[in-house]
Chain A
Amino acid sequence: MHLMYFTERPYRYVSNDEVIKTGFFGIENKHFDSVKGGQLLNEYLDEKVLAEELGFDGVMLNEHHDTAFCMGSVMDVEASILARITKKVKIVLLGNPLPVVGNPLRLAEELGMIDMISGGRLVAGWVRGGGSEQFASNANPAFNREYFNEAHEVVIQAWTKPGPFRYEGKHFHYRFVDPWCLPIQKPHPPIWIPGLLSPETVVWCAKHRYPYVALATFLEPTVELWNMYRDAAAAEGYQVGPENFGYLQKVYVAETEEKAREIAKWDMFGGAGIGYSLFGQPQWMFPPGYNSKDATRRMARQFTDPEATKGSPWAGLADGSTLSKNESISDAQIKTRSAIWQDKPIDVEQTRKQILDAFPAVERAMQVICGTPKTVIPKLRTVLEVLRPGIFAFWQNDGPISKEDRLNNMRLIATEVMPAVREIGKELGLTSPFEVTPGSRPLSKGSKPQSVGSLDALRAMREQPVAAL
């Protein structure tokens, strides 16, 4: 197993009132103090060094724009620093938003330099960028998928094709491609793709033999999408293994159940507690042309039928995830966003209460796992049995949680939880992409591919009384 540490690196000084009223994207930047922001960025870099010392295999970064939710506006800057100040952890970038980058050749060079400085420790990854990112970078959302595919092509060619050569595509044009800052890892650094269960992306990953890392998604649709990957992989002639899959999980550990739960519930204001419902308002999450036809059809049903407005309509819908009814647990937050769309005033106090009241359901759905080391390990085992991922990232709880509590969480996870998780990984045969090359398991023509995830384990979990979770 490859175990990673992750945080969104939020700007922690914006009041929850602003977040409730506006959502993370779109809060006026007068609420940002660069001095405090700088201190936080340094704390987050220090945390990565600590993660290495504590024995994590990788540190994972991501990128968002114009938001207190995540200060990694240019993730490659952080990655460059980490390349120098860490020694052995993998620097896992999940991911660079290809459609909003604008210049994929420059991106290929940036990543090449990071790989060189780190001595070949880079894991690259690509995302389409959320709807709001298209606004933040003014990337035409109607060409999002085209930009993604073509920018990927440019980066791979820049890394692998001897230069100089000329590249003339639909959206990108280069008359002289001959970069010298090429990655140490050949033919290129590993590429993993994070996502929120867009079927198109999952199939694309299977075709390219790129591991797919599901970002704290609901377990049931995740297994379904794993199976979609499995079938697309079979069509490519290979059998999937745990090395093809990764999962990001929020885990909060403290000395007592009560303390862990008390702190973890504030994660509901981390923005991504459940389906990113505080992440951004729908007009920013669903820019024109950003969604596939199928996703637009689902959205049309949801936005015109109040009865259908269940589950997680924002980011989840945009990426085509399907949620079962018993996972429709954030009605309060949905109502809040709908109210914004209708220009009705938000009742901040009532909304805050509704969000916090949703926490038990969030915990039940394993969206946040919290407790003492002793109680979180069995829950993590369930997740690992259901999904069987070769890559597993611990998501440091975001939201208004103190530095002391965060560091305590990291230490307890590393010292008291991770050893058990590694044992479970061995027992379940959870091979990472560094142990088994993704896509290298042969599948003879006509034979039936095996699933990696297991709904049986999910059903068994569901049958347990809630108290046992």
Chain B
Amino acid sequence: MASSNGSPEWKEEVVQVDGSALVVVRGGTGRPLLVLHEELGWPGWLKWNSALARSRTLIIPQHPGYSRTERAEWISNIRDMAGFYARYLVEQHLAPIDAIGFSLGGWIAAEMAACNPAQFRKLVLVAPMGVRPKEGAILDFFQLMALKHLFVTVHDADATEEYDQLYGGEGPEQFERLEEARAQSARLAWAPFMHNPSLPHLLGVARSLPTLLLWGREDKVVPLSAAADYQRVMSSASLRVFDNCGHRPEVETPSEFVREVESFFS
């Protein structure tokens, strides 16, 4: 459950970063793997987490203003957020680290890479935002009610086994958490919407960072066309596309997702 503070598989810890109490979910064993969650908050510990946790220590900070971490007033955009995490990695002696970023979390990771690619060993970006696609557009989910927003993130909700468990399942508490996450996403990226015009210009500095882009072919949130925009500036990035899959390959096709990620990091 996204609202609880631990399970046999994972524990929550609180780390001070610039006076902010950052809530970090930690679980598994092995070399650390940083996980940056998406714009609806931390969806909870899911199958793919358990699978990767067998060989990696997952470090999943809940971004300031999302889930259980309080908002930091000074963080007003995704680049600020990237700077916040840069400081977290340095202070926790975690850099260079392997990382996976999902959607808005992928954008945070990309901003971090654009600033200092040496923070990372290898990077997986799952349908990242941050770059305005040359073809198509990032879905304006601010014009959707939260539950509908969640609904369109997957290609087929009925065929997605863990759909009902995302963010702790349906109910007023979940609705409230989703609304709070959406509010924070609006604070950070209402306009320009979910991208930073300067990112493609700066991301070239990370052109040799080993990077894997993962995308669902039926992604309705960030169109697959954006992969080419990332690859244009990150020439080292390879792309793996999942068929019959939307914006959440990690829950829509968890086995394939885990296989790709393990193979890339090995």
Contact B142–A287 (Cβ < 8 Å): yes
**Nearest Cβ distance between residue B118 and chain A, in whole angstroms?**
34
Identify the closest chain A residue to B173 (Cβ): A300
Q: Which residues of A contact B173 (CB under 8 A)?
A: 300
Identify the closest chain B residue to A302 (Cβ): B172
Q: Which residues of A contact B142 (CB under 8 A)?
A: 287-288
| Contact flags B181-209 to A (C-beta < 8 A → 1, else 0) | 01111110011000000000000000000
Known contacts A138-B191, A303-B175, A304-B175; 12 additional CB pairs below 8 A are A135-B143, A140-B191, A283-B145, A287-B142, A287-B186, A288-B183, A296-B180, A297-B172, A299-B179, A300-B173, A301-B172, A304-B171
Q: Which residues of B contact A339 (CB under 8 A)?
A: none
**Nearest Cβ distance between residue A299 and chain B, in whole angstroms?**
7
Q: B46 contacts the other chain (Cβ, under 8 Å)?
A: no
With A296-B179, A300-B172, A303-B175 as known contacts, state yes or no: A282 contacts B145, CB within 8 Å: yes
Identify the closest chain A residue to B147 (Cβ): A303
Q: B70 contacts the other chain (Cβ, under 8 Å)?
A: no
Q: Please give the residue numbers on chain B whose beta carbons come within 8 Å of chain A beta carbons, in ascending order.
A: 142-145, 147-148, 170-176, 179-180, 182-187, 190-191
With A296-B176, A304-B172 as known contacts, state yes or no: A141 contacts B145, CB within 8 Å: no
Query: Is chain B's binding surface mostly helix, strand, loop or mixed?
Result: helix
Q: Please give the residue numbers on chain A whose beta carbons come within 8 Å of chain B beta carbons, in ascending order.
A: 135, 138, 140-143, 282-284, 286-289, 291, 296-297, 299-301, 303-305, 341
**Nearest Cβ distance between residue B203 and chain A, in whole angstroms?**
26
Of all A-B residue pairs in the complex, the 3 with the closest CB atoms, nearest first, are A289-B183, A288-B182, A300-B175
CA distance A142 to B143 in the complex (A): 14
Contact B179–A304 (Cβ < 8 Å): no
Contact B148–A341 (Cβ < 8 Å): yes
Identify the closest chain B residue to A286 (Cβ): B145
Identify the closest chain A residue to B185 (Cβ): A288
CA distance A141 to B148 in the complex (A): 19
Residue in B144, B170, B183 whose beta carbon sits within 8 Å of that of A142 in the complex: B183
**Nearest Cβ distance between residue B12 and chain A, in whole angstroms?**
22
Contact A284–B143 (Cβ < 8 Å): yes
Contact B187–A140 (Cβ < 8 Å): yes
Residue in A142, A284, A289, A305 whose beta carbon sits within 8 Å of that of B172 in the complex: A305
Q: Which residues of B contact A300 (CB under 8 A)?
A: 172-173, 175-176, 179
CA distance A289 to B181 in the complex (A): 9
Identify the closest chain B residue to A291 (Cβ): B179
**Nearest Cβ distance between residue B245 and chain A, in whole angstroms?**
22
Can you list 25 pairs linking A and B with CB atoms under 8 Å apart?
A: A135-B143, A140-B190, A282-B145, A283-B143, A283-B144, A284-B143, A288-B142, A288-B179, A288-B185, A288-B186, A289-B183, A289-B184, A291-B179, A296-B176, A297-B172, A299-B179, A300-B172, A300-B179, A301-B172, A303-B147, A303-B175, A304-B172, A304-B174, A305-B172, A341-B148
Identify the closest chain B residue to A301 (Cβ): B172
Q: Which residues of A contact B190 (CB under 8 A)?
A: 138, 140-142
Q: Which residues of A contact B179 (CB under 8 A)?
A: 288, 291, 296, 299-300
Q: Which residues of B contact A288 (CB under 8 A)?
A: 142, 179, 182-183, 185-186
With A138-B191, A304-B170 as known contacts, state yes or no: A289 contacts B182, CB within 8 Å: yes
